[in-house]
Amino acid sequence: MDKKLVSILALRDRTLELLNGKMGDFFLGGGTALSLYHLKHRESFDLDFFTKDFSSKKIKDVISNIETGLDVKAKIEEAVPLEGKARILRCFVPINGRGELDDDASSFKIDFIEDQFEYIKTDKTTTGDIPVFSMENICLRKIYATCGVVKEEDELGRPRFVGGRQAAKDLFDLYFLSNEFMRLSEFVQEYCPSNKERVVEWYHSYDRVDMKLGINEIIAMKKVDFHDIERHFRQEVDTMIKQELS
């Protein structure tokens, strides 16, 4: 593994140690929570903290504690919130101590995200006292991040989806969630049936070449071939379609 990536992982772990018992109503989610505390399937190089009570002041106090504990000067970016969108405050921690950030690659990223979605199962707390999302809550947010969420209906009464992204890491995470935790078709049926059509559209529309290249770049502890991922999701999508027709 590249030395810079090794440094980022070390900084990530030091940050988690520093934040033990200090995160209050912030929950660790995303790929790092899924990998470190649940599936142990790939390396993830950033932290995503979700909170219902989004406060820039409270978040900046957390960042100040990180700066003091690690003896660094972080770069903070606060996105201008758009209507209906979650607020996000992003922090870049340099891997070279108090040196200047040459680019985002020379830093470790922490996102503090306003959580707009329901909790669908009691979350767990690690032995180190960092609140961590359950796999149910991680999976739900992965689906919403990947496929978008229903925000409103169009003039014909059809659901209108907002958001969505195509990222190989999300495909990889959803595959392992579906394969080792709960089948995607079962999860969508139980927890977010209004997204079923959008999940089918996502499967048929994502760029196969980009996804395959992205999967090959993931530093994985559990190896899987892209064609096996494709085959798995095709079966899950076929199951969802049959559910709708039955």
pLDDT, tens only, 139-167 = 999 999 898 775 555 555 555 555 568 89
Do 28 and 106 share a domain, yes or no? yes
Cα R_g (the chain), whole angstroms: 19
Mean of pLDDT over the chain: 89
Of the candidates 132, 148, 170, which is a domain's last residue?
132
Q: Quick one: 225 and 185 in the same domain?
A: yes
| Residues 97, 224: Cα–Cα separation, whole Å | 36
Same domain, 32 and 68: yes
Q: Are residues 121 and 147 in the same domain?
A: no
Q: In CATH, what number is assigned to the domain containing residue 102?
A: 3.10.450.620
Domain with 209 in it: 135-245
pLDDT tens column, 123-132: 777 657 889 9
Confidence category of residue 55, pLDDT binned at 50, 70, 90? very high
> Mean of the pLDDT values across residues 217-245?
96
DSSP conformational letter for 42: B
Residue of 64, 50, 207, 193 lying closest to 119 (CA atoms): 50
Of 85 and 87, more confident: 87
Q: Do 36 and 125 belong together in one domain?
A: yes
3-class SS of residue 188: helix
Q: How far apart are CA 104 and CA 35, in angstroms?
A: 22
Q: How distant, in Å, are the alpha carbons of 6, 100, 115, 194, 223 from that of 107?
A: 12, 10, 25, 38, 27
| pTM summary value | 0.90
Lowest mean pLDDT among 88-92, 126-130, 174-178: 126-130
Greater confidence, 221 or 4? 221
- What's the whole-number mean pLDDT along residues 180-194? 96
Q: Is the pLDDT of residue 200 over 70?
A: yes
Percent of the chain with pLDDT over 70: 87
Least confident of 35-44, 119-128, 132-141: 119-128
Residue 146 shares a structural domain with residue 231: yes
E strand intervals along the chain: 27-29, 46-51, 75-78, 88-94, 107-114, 124-125, 131-132, 149-153, 159-162
